[in-house]
Amino acid sequence: MIKYTIKSKDLADINMSVVEKTNFPIHFKFEDIRLEVDRLTKAKVEIIAKAKVERAAMKNVLQGFPETEEMDEKKRIACQVYQGCYDYVKRAEEKLEEIDKAIKEYKDEVKEIIKQTKIEGINIWQMTKKN
């Protein structure tokens, strides 16, 4: 089991307190976790928006070129656009799952740190602008 200790406590800003994982030679601040969760949350929003655009493009291609038997240049381009969008959406869905998992792991880790160290003033639900 990973053990956590508070290496140095910042009374002015509790999120800047340094945490030590005792089973690993690693030190970090709650602020580091908050910044990483913010980065992941921003990436998630961007991926969702891009996937929405790509899905709309896929739909447009299918409406305009549903047949596939005789492939002239326009149809090949349409298929290329569709395939690019399809590939992106597939990767986006996988990445969103990874991001959700990482955010959950960070929040679970903060809960465990709080449980083990009894540090007060950390609120993981307020650590990010959007959860």
Range of the domain at 110: 4-126
Question: Is it the case that residue 54 has pLDDT exceeding 70?
Answer: yes
Q: Does residue 14 fall inside a structural domain?
A: yes
pLDDT for residue 115:
92
| Number of compact structural domains in the chain | 1
Q: How do residues 55-109 score in pLDDT, each as one tens digit?
A: 998 888 878 877 645 568 888 788 889 999 999 999 999 999 999 999 999 999 9
Question: Is it the case that residue 53 has pLDDT exceeding 80?
Answer: yes
Question: Is it the case that residue 30 has pLDDT exceeding 60?
Answer: yes
42-107-21 Cα angle (round to 5): 115
pLDDT band at 131 (very low <50, low <70, confident <90, very high): very low
Q: Does residue 131 fall inside a structural domain?
A: no
Q: Does residue 48 fall inside a structural domain?
A: yes
Q: Does residue 69 fall inside a structural domain?
A: yes
By CB atoms closer than 10 A (0-12, 13-18, 19+), residue 37 is: buried
Q: Does residue 56 fall inside a structural domain?
A: yes
Give the type of residue at 10. D
